């Protein structure tokens, strides 16, 4: 278990920059998730930490010692790959023993360590099985056991659940987090699924085009996104965006300028300072309130119901406001009719400039 420092990591493939001056420090025992769409550089970064990918520039340190020039075998990392690659010709026990045998650990020692991880991961009963016939949950546990058996400095996981069926994922996610906490191992987890990231991470690092967009605890990304991309990527169902127009007397909905918005003062100051003519409003579906009967006012607008569906405990309703669509997540017994009135609480609205940067 170690602290991991990634210092200005840059990886270039010919003309393409996959990772651009990426910097991050992990404390011992921390669970960090690298999140982002495909091609954002998260897997490349992970592979650099593992030593499977060479970096164009930058340094990686474990507990302060640089490992950038070391081969994977010398770095003492544990890794679980996307398609959980267990050795098909070996039993579970032999799979787990492999990293230890590769380093010449003695037989008695190996047996002890295997028993220990088998207890932690509760796989004692399948130690003698060949890995071929095992269900996905068991395979993942074996892969994890193999990765941690020699107490690596850091545990790396590359979208380990992406090949797993939906119904197993949540349980496996929970188990994974449980094991990680129990073992206290520094972990870097890569995924494109933001729900996974939000539920697993101590800290989420959102990446795009090789750069870090935002880094912080899940709540921070949810409640205080750094830019429009972060706001749209996190949260399910995703954030609503409305196009607003800057007028002489304030902000209004671009397609129906009778509908007015009252933003906080600092937002007004910022868009005036930048001389913007357009602003984008963002609000999460569950923040949208139904206010039938209320008078039309700033942030309180008439809306036309377009569609509604019951999803789980909530009613997801799509409304049309001035031609633009807003999705609201309402209690299942909400009274939605053709014509409704919606309230967008100002304190729960986000404002963005057209280039995606956050205004407030």
- Residues numbered 62 to 81 that lie near other proteins (CB under 8 A) are 68-74, 76-79, 81
Residue closer to other proteins by CB (options 121, 352) is 121
Q: Which is nearer to other proteins, 10 or 232 (CB)?
A: 10
Cβ atoms of residues 26 and 215 within 8 Å: no
Q: How many residues bind other proteins (CB under 8 A)?
A: 32
Whichever of 156 and 251 has its CB closer to other proteins, that residue is: 156
- Return the residue of 25, 57, 87, 357 that touches other proteins, per CB under 8 A: 87
Applying CB under 8 A, among 37, 57, 89, 124 the residue interacting with other proteins is: 89
Closest CB 183 distance from other proteins, rounded Å: 17
DSSP class of 179? H
Report strand pairing: 300-311 vs 339-343: antiparallel
The contact mask relative to other proteins for 134-173 (x = CB under 8 A, - = no) is: ------------x---x-----------------------
Specify the DSSP class assigned to residue 55.
-
Q: In what order do the strands lie in the sheet with 16-26?
A: 16-26, 4-13, 57-62, 65-66
Q: For residues 266 and 191, what is the distance between their CA atoms, to the nearest angstrom? A: 35
CA 134, 140, 146, 150 torsion-angle sign: negative
Interface mask toward other proteins for 222-261; x: CB under 8 A: ----------------------------------------
Spatial distance between the Cα atoms of 290 and 219, rounded to a whole number of angstroms: 25
Other beta carbons less than 10 A from residue 166's beta carbon: 7
Of the two residues 82 and 238, which places its CB atom closer to other proteins in the complex? 82
Q: Judged by CB under 8 A, which of 8, 65, 85, 357 binds other proteins?
A: 85
Taking CB under 8 A as the criterion, which residues in 103-132 touch other proteins? 103
Q: Rule CB under 8 A: is residue 23 a binding residue for other proteins?
A: no
For other proteins, the closer CB: 74 or 307: 74
Q: Is 1 in the site for other proteins (CB under 8 A)?
A: no
Scan residues 42-61 and list those touching other proteins (CB under 8 A): 50-55
List Cβ neighbours of 114 (8 Å cut-off, separation of 6 or more).
Answer: 93, 96, 97, 127, 149
For 32, residues 6+ apart whose C-beta sits below 8 A from its C-beta are 24, 26, 187, 188, 189, 201, 202, 203, 204, 205
Chosen residue from 16, 38, 64, 88 binding other proteins by CB under 8 A = 88
Residue 9 Cβ vs other proteins, minimum distance, rounded to whole Å: 12
User: What b/e sequence results for 146-157 when a residue is b if at least 16 CB atoms lie within 10 Å of its CB, and e otherwise?
Assistant: bbbbbebbbbbb
- Smallest distance, Å, CB 26 to other proteins? 18
Nearest-approach distance from CB 262 to other proteins, in angstroms: 55
Q: Tell whether residue 83 is a contact of other proteins (CB under 8 A).
A: yes
Question: 2 vs 86, which CB is nearer to other proteins?
Answer: 86
Nearest approach, Cβ of residue 73 and other proteins (Å): 4
Scored b (16 or more CB within 10 A) or e, 175-200 reads bbbebbeebebbbbbbbbbbebbbeb
What size, in residues, is the chain?
Answer: 360
Whether 284 contacts 235, CB under 8 Å: yes
**Interaction site with other proteins (CB under 8 A):** 50-55, 68-74, 76-79, 81-83, 85-89, 98-99, 101-103, 146, 150
């Amino acid at each position: 278990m170690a602290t991991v420092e990634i210092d200005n990591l840059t990886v270039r493939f010919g003309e393409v920059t996959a990772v651009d001056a990426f910097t991050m420090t992990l404390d011992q025992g921390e669970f960090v998730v690298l999140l982002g769409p495909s091609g954002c550089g998260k897997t490349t970064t992970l592979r650099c930490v593992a030593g499977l990918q060479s970096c164009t520039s930058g340094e990686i340190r474990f507990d302060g010692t640089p490992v950038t020039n070391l081969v994977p075998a010398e770095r003492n990392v544990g890794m679980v790959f996307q398609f959980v690659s267990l050795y098909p010709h070996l039993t579970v026990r032999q799979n787990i023993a492999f990293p230890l045998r590769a380093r010449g650990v003695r037989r008695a020692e190996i047996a002890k360590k295997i028993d220990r991880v088998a207890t932690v991961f509760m796989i004692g009963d399948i130690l003698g099985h060949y890995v071929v016939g095992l269900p996905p949950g068991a395979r993942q546990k074996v892969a994890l056991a193999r990765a941690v058996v020699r107490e690596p400095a850091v545990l790396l996981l590359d979208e380990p659940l992406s090949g797993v069926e939906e119904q197993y994922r949540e349980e496996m996610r929970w188990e994974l987090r449980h094991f990680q906490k129990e073992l206290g191992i520094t972990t870097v987890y890569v995924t494109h699924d933001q729900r996974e990231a939000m539920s697993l991470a101590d800290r989420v690092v959102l990446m795009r085009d090789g750069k870090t967009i935002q880094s912080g605890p899940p709540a921070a990304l949810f409640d205080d996104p750094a830019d429009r991309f972060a706001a749209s990527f996190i949260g399910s169902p995703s954030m609503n965006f409305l196009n607003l127009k800057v007028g002489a007397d304030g902000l209004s909905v671009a397609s129906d300028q009778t509908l007015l918005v009252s933003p906080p003062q600092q937002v007004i100051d910022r868009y005036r300072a930048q001389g913007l003519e357009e602003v984008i409003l963002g609000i999460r579906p569950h923040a949208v309130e139904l206010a039938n009967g209320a008078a039309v006012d700033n942030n309180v607008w008439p809306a036309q119901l377009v569609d509604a569906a019951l999803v789980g405990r909530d009613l997801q309703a799509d409304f049309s406001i001035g031609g633009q669509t807003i999705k609201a997540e309402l209690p299942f017994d909400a009274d939605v009719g053709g014509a409704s009135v919606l309230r967008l609480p100002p304190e729960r609205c986000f404002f963005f400039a057209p280039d995606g940067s956050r205004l407030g």
